[in-house]
Amino acid sequence: MIDLRSDTVTKPTMAMRQAAFEAEVGDDVYEEDPTVKKLEDKAAEMLGKEAALFVTSGTQGNQIAVLTHCNPGDEVLLEANAHLFLYEGASMSALAGVQPRTIQGRRGVMDPEHVKAAIRPDDIHFPETSLICLENTHNKAGGVVVPLENMQAIYELAREEGIPVHLDGARLFNASVATGISLHRYADQTDTVQACLSKGLGAPVGSIIAGSYDFIQKARKWRKRLGGGLRQVGMVAAPAYVALTEMVDRLAENHAHARQLANGLQHVEGLTIEKVETNIVLVHVNGLGETAESFLHKLKEDGILAVPFGPTTVRFVTNYGVGGREIDQVIDRIISSYLY
Ligand SMILES: *Cc1c(COP(=O)(O)O)cnc(C)c1O
């Protein structure tokens, strides 16, 4: 099977398995695991934040951020197709008791004027706007890189209003590799950030959240409340450290493979391909008279996996388990099914 469903399907490399085998460990609830400390220090340094915390998943990291920044009854502003809104089981409402308020962006990018207009004035009828969430790269928009200037503009107005900004940077590494802008310049435009180590970077488990010392202290308590206080966590922090320090630059290969796929499919009549910016390729199949489901069913019979991303839209995500030769095979199989 050529698996392009997600970059989460990646399996730990030999170096990661070796690092797990050799990891020095302790009880991290007592803050005695040297390996997770090393990972957190490195992540804080790379993101230019005072401190960082290893969490079990991107969803847990985002939700800890919401829980730490907000009180029940508050309102959170975020893009209409944000992962935090679409794909986290309404956990900000279920767990933090906050109300999401969405702002329609263009390819995932919110207009700062729209964000400003959505901030609630001081009035007894209104919830308090207590957090703005950004997402970079934007998953649902197709791996779009949110421009640094856009983040800057939103952060500036948020600071004027005294509202913190959280970045869902599940794929921030992809944004940084695609633009050459460092991770910490992106993270400078937000108070807190969540970054996934278990996607394109290939760690088996875990995400990082980073922010001020004070934020991380409070976040540590929320992580414990959520059952995310782990014991000899160095076993998974060690491969995550390999992911963070050895796997970032090679994301450029995934981006090249995504472009290769998009270019190869470009001439298939009936397919519309969204502009590729990182490792995600969105393909609209309605012009073939197919639904996402019927198209994916045929692909699967040809040994290719992708996911539906709307009634007639399919998402392919390149990852290190799939090389250039396999991408050519995917192109060939789609062309031979539909071009002749
Ligand atoms: C994958 C993803 C998450 C959640 O990460 P999990 O580790 O799957 O919980 C959050 N935000 C975005 C943009 C993602 O792509």
Helix (H, G, I), strand (E, B) or coil at 76: strand
pLDDT band at 110; cut points 50, 70, 90: very high
Q: Tell how far the Cα of 60 is from the centroid of ligand 1, in angstroms.
A: 9
Give which of 318, 330, 333, 332 is closest to 142, Cα–Cα. Answer: 318
Residues near 274 by beta carbon (within 8 Å), at least 6 away in sequence: 142, 281, 282, 283, 284
Does residue 262 have a pLDDT over 90? Answer: yes
Using the mean position of ligand 1's atoms as its centre, give its distance from the Cα of residue 197 in Å. Answer: 10
Task: Read off the pLDDT of residues 118-133 as tens digits, 9 standing for 90 and up.
Answer: 999 999 999 999 999 9
Please list, in sequence order, all residues whose beta carbon lies within 8 angstroms of the beta carbon of residue 37, skipping any fewer than 6 positions away. Answer: 31
Distances (CA, A) of 186 to 20, 158, 169: 30, 16, 9
Instruction: List the alpha helices (DSSP H) in 226-301.
Output: 234-246, 251-265, 292-301
Residue 62 burial by Cβ neighbours in a 10 Å radius (0-12, 13-18, 19+)? buried
Phi-psi region of 238 (alpha: psi -120 to 50; beta: other; left: phi over 0): alpha
Q: Which pLDDT score, from 0 to 100, does residue 339 have?
A: 72
Taking the CA of residue 83 as centre, how many other CA atoms within 13 Å lie in the half-sphere pointing to its CB? 22
Q: Are 222 and 32 in contact (CB under 8 A)?
A: no
Classify 309 as helix, strand or coil.
coil
Task: Indicate whether 216 pLDDT > 80.
Answer: yes
Confidence band for 90, pLDDT divided at 50, 70 and 90? very high
Burial class (CB in 10 A: 0-12, 13-18, 19+), 29: middle
User: Six-digit token pair at 52?
Assistant: 């960082």
Ligand 1: nearest atom to the Cα of 199: 1
Domain 250-338: assigned CATH number: 3.90.1150.10
pLDDT digits (tens, 9 = 90+) for 148-198: 999 999 999 999 999 999 999 999 999 999 999 999 999 999 999 999 999
CA-nearest residue for atom 10, ligand 1, is 58
Question: What percent of the chain shows pLDDT beyond 90?
Answer: 99
Task: State the DSSP H helix or E strand holding residue 66, giving kind and residue range, or none if neither.
Answer: helix 58-69
* Ligand 1 atom with the shortest distance to the CA of 58: 5
Q: Please name every residue paired with 51 in a beta bridge, in sequence order, or none if there are none.
A: 211
Peptide bond connecting 190 to the previous residue in cis, omega within 30 degrees of 0: no
Instruction: Give residue-wise pLDDT tens across range 22-66.
Output: 999 999 999 999 999 999 999 999 999 999 999 999 999 999 999
- Contact in structure between 314 and 338 (CB atoms under 8 Å): no
Ligand 1 pocket test: pick from 54, 85, 139 the residue with the most ligand atoms within 8 Å of its Cβ: 139
The mean pLDDT of 228-256, rounded to a whole number, is 98
Give the per-residue pLDDT at 303.
97
> Distance, CA 59 to ligand 1 centroid (Å)?
6
Please state the atom number of ligand 1 nearest to the C-alpha of residue 138: 13
Residue 267 has pLDDT above 90, yes or no: no
Place of tokens 């290190």: 320
Q: Is pTM, for the whole model, over 0.95?
A: yes
pLDDT digits (tens, 9 = 90+) for 305-328: 999 999 999 999 999 999 999 999
Parse the chain into domains and list their residue ranges: 10-246, 250-338
Contact, 134 vs 175, CB < 8 A? no
- What residues are in contact with ligand 1 under a 6 Å CB criterion? 57-59, 62, 83, 135, 139, 168, 170, 196, 198, 207
Is the pLDDT at 300 greater than 90? The verdict is yes
pLDDT attached to residue 340 = 61
Best mutation site among 196, 207, 208, 209 for ligand 1 pocket (most ligand atoms within 8 Å of CB): 196
Average pLDDT, whole number, for the chain? 97
10-246 has CATH 3.30.2130.30 classification: no
Ligand 1 atom closest to Cα of residue 135: 13
Which of 285, 184, 233, 182 has the alpha carbon at shortest distance from 39? Answer: 233
pLDDT value, residue 338: 86
> Percent of the chain, pLDDT > 70?
100
Q: Which helix (H) or strand (E) segment is 315 a member of?
A: strand 313-317
